[in-house]
Chain A
Amino acid sequence: MIEARFHLTRPGDPPFVLSVEVQAPSVGVTALFGASGSGKTTLLRAIAGLEKIAGGFLKIGEAVWQDQGIFVPTHQRPLGYVFQEASLFSHLSVRENLEYGARRSGGCDERQMQQTAEMLGIAHLLHRDPVTLSGGERQRVAIGRALLTRPQVLLMDEPLASLDQTRKREVLPYVQRLHRDLKIPVLYVSHSPDEVAQLADHIIVLEAGRVVACGPLGETLANVETPIRLGEEAGVVLEGCIGERDERWSLARVDFVGGGIWTRDTGCVMGARVRLRVLARDVSLSCEEPVGSSILNYFPCEIAGQTGDEHPGLLLVRLDVGGSPLLARLTRRSAEALGVVRGKRIWAQVKAAAVVG
């Protein structure tokens, strides 16, 4: 368990405020999500000890890193930190960069070095000079360098934000692999709903320096009581596995608790665990079973709640599909015509869903 309490006000116009009391689980990836200026990077830096916020409290597992009269300096905290820009040491080779942290945290094991380098696809770059690497390669080296210090917690500050789309797609699979293989908690700062949907297990949503929502990813995203302002990106993430593959039409069915959704076959093997992202704008409602529609996926469900969307003409409706949540976005006019009330049985049609990892 990671427990952090920080309160900070910095003068300015408007003043910068950070006032958080958060807990993150000691397994899995916890996303610190929010717009720029929401305080997520400051919070991460405070956890790393790079920012000294007086009166703060920070406990990682059993170890207190900050409290009254206690401030463990960054270099004595067993953490790994991946910065937004890779920040490799330009006077050292890739290998020396990797060894820098490893040497200072209990020695450098050649086998572990090779393993990490292979996991991140940088084994062939070890002798290179960092300035000759692409942005994506640099960021992978930076991740490896942080991991080789055998950290107890990995802090990542928008590690993909400085990369273009192509490089992002190149690095993301490695980060997802970390997510699968790593036994330590990861705090991942991001402002991209896409990355969060692919990587996070838990989410802490920051707005203007305050926590507005936190909890397991699926539940938190689908919560209409404290909606996260995602606009077009509003939606849910469902955990499921590949239940059937239809080779003739190149489709695969992802089964989740309460139903199954046919989606484009991305080549995952039968039974593979995947995440499915369903955006609210791709879900529509119908009072009758929508036979004779081009939409493949529809199921009966129950209306579990609703909230206004960012636009006054729109609504976000939470649905319960046999235990799994879905969000649907519709106009208030349609909602009235359909008679959307809590508890009503209705048909949901899913126009599109994407396997995100």
Chain B
Amino acid sequence: MPEESLVSLALTFRLAAVTTFVLLLAGVPLAWWLSQTRSRWRGVAGALVTLPVVLPPTVLGFYLLLLMGPHGPVGQFTRWMGLGLLPFTFAGLVVASVIQKLPFVVQPIQNAFEAMGRRPLEVAASLRASPLDAFFTVALPLARPGILTGAVLGFAHTVGEFGVVLMIGGNIPGVTRVAAVQIYNHVEAMEYAQAHLLAAVLLLLSFIAMQAVYFLNRNKVVVA
């Protein structure tokens, strides 16, 4: 495999790993809140989280570019913090990917929390577990298949991302040129052999990810 393909693959996996990590940190509490709250904001919050599923990546990328750019509020904030501007950097890619992939992570986790129902938490409370204690010792372990499914989906989706990356990150080798963009470049340059190689790697990876999801959900809810 040519060097530039390897570089793009390494970058892709780094992006997917960091994104998945951030997604779990943000997604688990968010999914928990969505599954438990009776707030009237629940519907709005749920719609906002799910929006990227239907929103064209270029649209999301465009608005993020404006927000994080030198004239956008986020851009002015990151500059004020001394972080510079996020577009066309790896950090910018992570931010965009996290927002774009949030629904794929939040939904399976939220479903797992909801399928569990209130009963296990009531049992935990009757056994002297505080709400926080019950969250870590009962809710999280019971929702494990959902959390793993969310992580796999988030990772796999990020590996394949094209539109948002192109809008926010552009096409900088080693910084923002991920595998999907690299494939596009190869095809543009009529380098079909190289494109094949990278595409095959992504195909195989996606298949493995789906197998994992299937395996995790084969016996969905176990009630004892």
Contact = CB atoms under 8 A, between A and B. Distances in A.
A206 interface: no
A145 B141 CA distance: 19
Interface of A: 48-50, 73-76, 79-81, 83, 85-91, 100-101, 104-105, 130-131, 133, 138, 145-146, 149
Contacts of A131: 222, 224
Contacts of B137: 100
Given A87-B119, A87-B123, A75 B224 contact: no
Contact of A100 (B119, B127, B144, B222): B127
Contacts of A104: 127-129, 133
Interface in B151-180: none
B127 A90 contact: no
7 contacts: A50-B125, A50-B126, A74-B125, A75-B128, A87-B224, A90-B142, A104-B128
Contacts of A80: 126
Given A50-B122, A89-B120, A89-B138, A101 B127 contact: yes
Nearest to A146: B126
Which of B120, B125, B131, B138: most chain A Cβ within 10 A? B125
Nearest to B116: A90
Nearest to A90: B224
Contacts, number: 73
Nearest to B125: A74
B126 A74 contact: yes
Contact of A88 (B128, B130, B224): B224
B125 A73 contact: yes
Contacts of B127: 75, 100-101, 104-105, 145-146, 149
A149 B128 contact: yes
Interface string B189-223: 00000000000000000000000000000000011
Nearest to A155: B126
Contacts of A90: 142, 222-224
A79 B223 CA distance: 24
A138 B123 CA distance: 14
Interface of B: 119-120, 122-131, 133-134, 137-138, 141-142, 144, 222-224
Contacts of B123: 81, 83, 87, 89
Contacts of B142: 89-91
Contacts of A130: 224
B128 A48 contact: no
B20 to A, nearest CB: 23
A133 B222 CA distance: 13
Contacts of A75: 124-131, 133-134
A105 B120 contact: no
Nearest to B131: A75
B145 to A, nearest CB: 11
A83 B119 contact: yes
Contact of B224 (A48, A83, A89): A89
B203 to A, nearest CB: 35
Contact of B128 (A50, A86, A105): A105
A131 B224 CA distance: 5
- The 6 A-B residue pairs whose C-beta atoms are closest, nearest first, are A101-B127, A130-B224, A81-B126, A104-B128, A74-B125, A90-B224
A159 to B, nearest CB: 13
Contacts of A100: 124, 127, 129, 137
A79 B127 CA distance: 8
Contacts of A73: 125
A81 B134 CA distance: 16
A138 B224 contact: yes
Given A75-B124, A85-B119, A85-B223, 10 more contacts: A74-B126, A75-B125, A75-B126, A87-B120, A87-B224, A90-B224, A91-B141, A104-B127, A145-B127, A149-B128
